[in-house]
Chain A
Amino acid sequence: MSYYLILLVGAVLVNNFVLSRFLGCCPFLGVSKRMDTALGMSGAVVFVMVAASAVTWCIDNWILKPNGLEYIHTLAFILVIASLVQFIDIAMKRFLPPLHAALGIFLPLITTNCAVLGVAELNFKGETGFFESVFFALAAALGFGLALVIFSGIREKLEHANPPRSFRGIALALVTGGLLALAFMGFSGLDKGLERAL
């Protein structure tokens, strides 16, 4: 149990996907202008990352590794994740229309986002078990969502500020993102400390 707690803290705070691994910067800057779109995007990312890591684990362990094909894993993962997201999009529209209305437009946006592929890559490198892989994906997606929601909250406040012309828009957003990344550096070592304490 404590292992999963450490994994959770590590993926959400210490090695946050956006703020310390710098994966998924595109949606981080693109959909963080308003809180409701940020929440929708976070939901979609959680959904896709968990599903993608489950499927890529199966592909990796059942097709690639038995045949000694680890070297083409990136190609296989992209192929599988892209079609999986497409399938989820269609199936969700049919069976869960309210969820599709909330997440629908974000699903194609993160089809093979680097954060989604990054989870699969890290699981591949770590050679983790199935449940561990899925849990890591969930924690990483929650970390992504946390960063996105914090960032959009700050950006909503920044809308009311009156910065110099050269700082307006994406420039100030990048500076803010950098400061947020610096703040998250304060969590470094927390997982190690937790490991020792438990």
Chain B
Amino acid sequence: MVVAVLSIAFIGFAAAVLLAFADKFLSVREDPRIGLITAALPGANCGGCGFPGCDGYARALVAGTAPNGACAAGGGECAKAVAEILGVAATATEKRVALVKCCGSRSEAIRIGDYNGICDCNVAAATAGGDKGCVYGCLGYGACANVCPKGAISISDGLAKVDKRLCIGCGKCVSACPRRIIALVPASASIHVLCSNPEKGPEVRKVCGVGCIGCRLCERNSGGKEAGHFEFAGFLAKVNYSNPPFDSQIVSKCPAKCISEDPHTGSGH
């Protein structure tokens, strides 16, 4: 009994001494700011900044190889906290969220075939170009939803939708989409053109009931070309996000019904 207690105590004491010496003489001291910055970052480890996780970004920040404000998830407040720790001036970043620029749901957009392969947009797009008539439209097989670290993207009625409240703006969905129709837009903008088809009106009409036909009514209703709320690429209206429109009557007057007010919260069409 006594021998047992003494033996275990001896082993424990030897291990404790060994560890104490190791900690004293072998440990690598890290810059304490790394820990502080990691705590200030959101901890989502989304990789949106281009570094492996929040810890990797914190190390790069302390080493001075990364710009402050690259964290889209944390936004301005996080950049301010990091700047305080680093002792440099904060750069303002606006929170950005992902937007799926398509509103051609199953009832509106024409499907030219039945696809029942692997449920992934990239595979569907590689299978004879996908089943959707519009080659600029959302396929709705959830490649974006699968990579979203926050589960902010849901698929309903063959269409991906981003929940603005959950989106952290990491941009993973932007590169996952084979159709390249997801973009990061300022979270404050409320009016969006939900179409990516730049072709002429009749061509768009053939494949989708809610595609942009390039009639420029939105531009006229928002104060003309001088106001600069919209830009046009071919026959496709695009919101100028450095000067976004705010008048909600633009939405109701769009003949194609492809302009929506805040689709993130589902209050649009």
A residues sitting closer than 8 Å to B (CB atoms) are 59, 63-64, 67-69, 72, 75-76, 79-80, 83-84, 86-87, 90-91, 93-95, 160-162
How far, in whole Å, are A84 and B19 apart by their CA atoms in the complex?
A: 9
Q: How many residues of B contact A (CB 8 A)?
A: 19
> Closest chain A residue to B117 by CB distance?
A162
A33 to chain B, nearest CB (A): 14
> Closest chain A residue to B22 by CB distance?
A90
B28 and A94 contacting across the interface, CB-CB below 8 Å? yes
Known: A90-B23, A93-B27, A94-B27. Contact between A83 and B7, CB under 8 A? no
Interface flags for B16-45 (1: CB within 8 Å of A; 0: not) read 101100110011100000000000000000
B18 and A162 contacting across the interface, CB-CB below 8 Å? no
B residues sitting closer than 8 Å to A (CB atoms) are 3-4, 7-8, 10-12, 15-16, 18-19, 22-23, 26-28, 118-120
Query: Out of B7, B15, B19, which one reaches A63, CB within 8 Å?
Result: B7
Count of A-B contacts judged by CB separation below 8 Å: 53
A interface SS class: helix
Known: A94-B27, A162-B118, A162-B119. Contact between A64 and B7, CB under 8 A? yes
How far, in whole Å, are A49 and B36 apart by their CA atoms in the complex?
A: 35
- 23 A-B pairs within 8 Å (CB atoms) are namely A63-B7, A63-B11, A64-B7, A67-B7, A72-B4, A72-B8, A76-B8, A79-B12, A79-B15, A80-B11, A83-B18, A83-B19, A84-B15, A87-B19, A87-B22, A90-B19, A90-B22, A93-B28, A94-B26, A94-B27, A95-B26, A160-B118, A162-B118
